[in-house]
Structure 1
C-alpha cells in the first residue's frame, strides 16, 4: 500500500473540502446560483486551487455521482447469469433505486437533474453518457435478450436501451417531485416490468 506524503494528504483534504462545500452550497442556493468564486471563498482557497482539482463546477457533481459506477459493478457481479435478461435488468434497477434512496438522497439527485437542464453543462452530460457503467451493463443484458429471443428483433439495441433509460429517469424525476411516501424501488419495478413486457417477442 502506497504511503501518502503530507503534501498529498493535504491535497486530498482540500479536494474533499471543496467537494463537500460545493454540494452544500448547491443544495442551499441551487446549482445555477453558485459560482466557483463563492465555493473558493467558503473554503478559503484560490480559484486556481479549485481548478487543480475540478475542471468545472459540474465536475464536482460528477465526482460524487460517479461513485455509483463502483456500486453497479458490485451489483452486476452478484446477479445470477442464468436469469432471463429482463429479470437482470429489473434487479439492477431495483438495487440502483435503493442506493439512490438510501445513500445518494434527493438533495444530490435534484442538484444533478437541475444542473443537467442548465446551459452550463455540455450536451453529452453524465446522465446520458453511453460510457456510464449502468448503460454498458444494460447493453450486455439487451444483447443477451435479443440473442436468446426474449426481446423483439425489430427494435435496435440503441432504441431498446433508450426506452429502458427513460424508465429510470422518469421514475427518478417522479420521486424527486413526490412526497416521501413515493417508494422509488417499488414504483420503478412496476413501471419497468410493463415496459419490458412490451419489448418482449411474441414467441
Structure 2
C-alpha cells in the first residue's frame, strides 16, 4: 500500500478541519445562519479550498451522516434471515435508533433536520434519498413480506416504504424536541410495531 504524500495528508487534515469547524458553527449558530465564508475564515482557508472538498455546506453534514450507511450494512448481515419481514424491520430500526442515540447524538441530528427544512437544500436531499442503504434494505424486507403473504398486497412497495420512513423521522423528531427521558429505541419499537400491525394481511 502506497503511503500518502505530504500534500495528500495536508488535504485530509484540511478536510477534517473544515468538517469539524462547520459542525461546531452549525451547532452554535444554526445551519441557516452560518455561511461558507464564516467557515473558511474560521479555518483560515479560501472559499475555493472549501469547495474543493465539499460541493455545499449541507454536504459537510452529509459527509458525517453518511457513516450510517456502512453501519446499516453491518446490522443487516447480523439479522436472522428466517425471521418474518416485520421483525427484521423492527430489528433494523432498533439498532439504528441505538446508533443515533449513542454515536451520532442530538446535536448533529438537529443540524441535519434543521438544514433539511431550509430552502438551502434540494428537495431530494439525503434524508429521503432512495439510494440510501437503509431504504434499500427496507425495500428488500418489504418485498419479502409482500411476496410471502405477511404484508398487504394493496400497497406499492414505494407507498409502504414512505410509511415506514415516516415512522423513523417522526420518532427522531420527537426525540430531538423532548428531554433526555425520551427513549428513542423504545418509542420507535412501540410506534413502528403498531404501524406494521396495520400493514399485515391478518389485520385487513
Query: Which 4+ residue blocks in structure 1 deviate beyond 4 angstroms?
Result: none
Return 5+ residue gaps in structure 1 as ranges.
Answer: none
How many Å apart are 1:3 and its aligned residue? 1.3
Q: How does 1:146-165 map to 2 (within 5 A)?
A: 146-165=146-165
2:11 matches 1:19? no
SS in 2 for 1:45: coil
Alignment size in residue pairs: 203
User: CA offsets per residue over residues 23-56 of structure 1, 9 Å max, x none?
Assistant: 0000000000000000000000000000000000
**Alignment correspondent of 2:185:** 185
**TM-score, scaled relative to structure 1:** 0.99
Once the two structures are superposed, what CA deviation does each residue of 1:33-91 show, in whole Å capped at 9, x if it has no partner?
00000000000000000000000000001100000000000000111111100000000
Deviation of the 1:156 alpha carbon: 1.1
Q: 1: CA distance between counterparts of 2:58 and 2:168?
A: 21
Q: Which residue of 1 aligns with 2:176?
A: 176
| TM-score, length basis structure 2 | 0.98
| 2:118 aligned residue | 118
1:97 aligns with 2:97: yes
1:43 counterpart = 2:32: no
Separation in 1, partners of 2:129, 2:2: 32
